[in-house]
Structure 1
Amino acid sequence: MAKAEIDTSPQHCSVCLDTIQDEKTLKCLHSFCSQCIESVFRVKPACPICNTYHGVYTGTQPEGTMTVTRNWQCLPGYEHCGCMIILYSFPAGTQGPEHPNPGARYNGTSRTAYLPACEEGEKVVNLLRKAFDRRLVFTIGQSATTGLNNVITWNDIHHKTNMKGGPQCFGYPDPEYLSRVQEELRIKGVTEDDE
């Protein structure tokens, strides 16, 4: 039986694809050139290999408010509890340097979303609040539904904007929704464990 060989070759940085210089190892145990990972973190503080966040990611959402109210109405699939109604409101404004067209105007808007008032729904609403405070729920760009530019749009964290109609109508029932949205939030660095 042959002895197992130990790899003693130098590691390569997955950013510059060269031999690692001034090695920096992240908490996820992936290693990079110190200068390479610093340049990646200026754009997004996440490991380029596994997408684990290192620090807090802040988005480009414009100024607005998130209000949560509770209602006795039940959502299909959650007949044992009431629901939470989330109202997002944004006034009209001018795009800042972090937006696609600095100095251009955008119109105000509001959006309504629904969550079941169960234990997992409460967890999700708290994560959504954290994401909203980090400016991650909305952004300014091109609307996928209207094609208009310079408008406030959702930013890849899906919401249920109807109480009924199932997934095809952005409503309930949708038994996998709460776990899917938690995964979308995790990808943006929003978990119960982070600050």
Structure 2
Amino acid sequence: MSKVNASLPGGPRSPGPGEGHCIICMDDIVEKRTLEKCMHSFCASCISEVFKVKPACPICNTFYGAYVGMQPQNGSMEVTRNWERLPGFESCGTIVIDYRFPAGIQEAGHPNPGRRYAGTSRRAFLPANTEGERVLRLLRRAFDQRLLFTVGTSATTGLSNVITWNDVHHKTNMQGGPQCFGYPDPGYLLRVQDELRSKGVTEDVVSKPVDRES
């Protein structure tokens, strides 16, 4: 017999999180697993599948281990500094980040494993102040955890099998404001830290070794 829809008059109320209901499969919990930090519960098989993609609670985003992404492994991240001023940060110089990736072969987890992807290089800018240095540390950690780039289809060119940004926004121009991916943009440094936090990259994990098997 099928379950009665909880929205129908007189139907039973569907239990919420923590009441025997798994928000992943939207059904009763089978072989309950409760996460030790946040105490949210799910079907053991459901949360195991979620953790294969991202080791974080799907309710509160508490992380359980390092999140390692699908960024190509053969890239580099180089940092230099100069005394040019970014609009809105005239009291300090500029941090220049150069990312470089040669062409390579897609791995399991990429859209077309075994096919080649094109190489690329990207340059980004941060203010060389306390907050900018903090963001740089976080970006370095995210790069080491393979979280800043992935292989897919470019949103700007429509080309497939290319290296693309992976939901952590960078300032690729020094000027022009947000519409040109540049400065001034007073809220950018806070926003990018929120984006990194959503991937489990925070100041308290920066000093820990990267577990690339997670």
Structure 2 length-normalised TM: 0.83
Shift of 1:137: 0.5
1:48 aligns with 2:48: no
Shift of 1:10: 4.8
Q: Are residues 171 and 25 of structure 1, via their aligned partners in 2, closer, same or farther at CA, if it must alter by over 3 Å?
A: same
The CA deviation string for residues 57-77 of structure 1, in whole angstroms up to 9 with x for no partner, is 111111200001011111110
The CA deviation string for residues 93-152 of structure 1, in whole angstroms up to 9 with x for no partner, is 111122111111122110000000010100000000000001110111000110000001
Counterpart of 2:188 in structure 1 is 177
Counterpart of 1:38 in structure 2 is 48
Match of 1:146, SS state, is: coil
Q: Give the aligned length.
A: 188
Counterpart of 2:8 in structure 1 is none
Match of 2:193, SS state, is: helix
The CA deviation string for residues 41-85 of structure 1, in whole angstroms up to 9 with x for no partner, is 112111111222211111111120000101111111011110100
Q: Distance in 2 between matches of 1:13 and 1:93?
A: 40
Q: Distance in 1 between matches of 2:65 and 2:58?
A: 14
Structure 1 length-normalised TM: 0.91
1:141 aligns with 2:152: yes
Counterpart of 1:23 in structure 2 is 32
Counterpart of 2:10 in structure 1 is none
1:156 aligns with 2:156: no
Q: Distance in 1 between matches of 2:154 and 2:31?
A: 43
Let me know the Cα RMSD of the aligned residues: 1.6
> Counterparts of 1:99-110 in structure 2 under 5 Å?
99-110=110-121
Range moving further from structure 2, 35-44 or 161-170: 35-44
Match of 2:85, SS state, is: coil
Counterpart of 2:69 in structure 1 is 59
Range moving further from structure 2, 93-102 or 9-18: 9-18
Gaps of 5+ in 2: 1-14, 209-214
1:94 aligns with 2:105: yes
Q: Distance in 2 between matches of 1:97 and 1:17?
A: 29
Match of 1:120, SS state, is: helix
Return the letter of the residue paired with 2:172: T
Q: Distance in 2 between matches of 1:13 and 1:161?
A: 42
Gaps of 5+ in 1: 1-6
Range moving further from structure 2, 178-187 or 96-105: 96-105
Counterpart of 2:9 in structure 1 is none
Counterpart of 1:3 in structure 2 is none
